[in-house]
Chains A and B, each alone.
Chain A
């Protein structure tokens, strides 16, 4: 099993550009999450999904959109990137709520 994988690993964007981060899990987990990690701020939840076709806002959802068309995939979109979105993005999945979350290796995004 690959666990949780993220694509791409690194990306540099210019302000105003758009991109999509892909998260895939092969553990048949129902719940999936997107976090961002910034120095001094810790991990913050952007959006999450409790099942295929569902999405919900987390702590810092502004500027991001998500989709969960297939159970195994969770996409994070930036429609118009801003320098404030420079961060490391982590995807995670869990069997259900209150179960441990398994994290991907992260995507390092720089917006210039």
Chain B
């Protein structure tokens, strides 16, 4: 079964700093999704990547999927306290379109 490994598990940064979160799979990723979760709340969809080499941006968050489609990164530029939360990557199991598998998440703290 597909497993997604996220690194780091947690991250503390000073406001204004840039940061990167990684999501790695041992198998080809068929659709890679990034979500954000604030404590005690549901997941908010951020971005979806499908093609090798694809890159998408939304405000100060950029997500990339590598050419081999086995690793994705989420980069935040000039972090703000509003970026704090847990970021999760998700991907579909090989050959299946029903079951989304999630990484365990990266907890981000942004200090003012």
Contact = CB atoms under 8 A, between A and B. Distances in A.
Interface stretch (B15-23, B37-45, B51-59, B67-75): B37-45
Given A43-B88, A45-B100, A56-B98, 13 more contacts: A42-B103, A42-B104, A43-B90, A48-B98, A90-B42, A90-B43, A92-B43, A96-B97, A97-B96, A97-B97, A101-B33, A103-B35, A103-B44
Given A42-B105, A50-B98, A56-B98, A100 B92 contact: no
Chain B facing A: main interface SS: strand
Interface in A32-90: 33, 40-43, 45, 48, 50, 56, 58-59, 90
B99 interface: yes
Interface of B: 30-31, 33, 35, 40-45, 48, 88, 90, 92, 96-105
A100 to B, nearest CB: 5
Contacts of A41: 104
Interface string A86-112: 000010100011101111111000000
A77 to B, nearest CB: 20
A31 B33 contact: no
A104 B102 contact: no
Given A43-B88, A90-B42, A101-B45, A31 B104 contact: no
Interface of A: 4, 31, 33, 40-43, 45, 48, 50, 56, 58-59, 90, 92, 96-98, 100-106
Nearest to B50: A98
B8 to A, nearest CB: 15
Contacts of A59: 99
A42 to B, nearest CB: 4
B104 A48 contact: no
Nearest to A58: B99
6 contacts: A43-B90, A45-B99, A97-B92, A98-B31, A101-B100, A103-B35
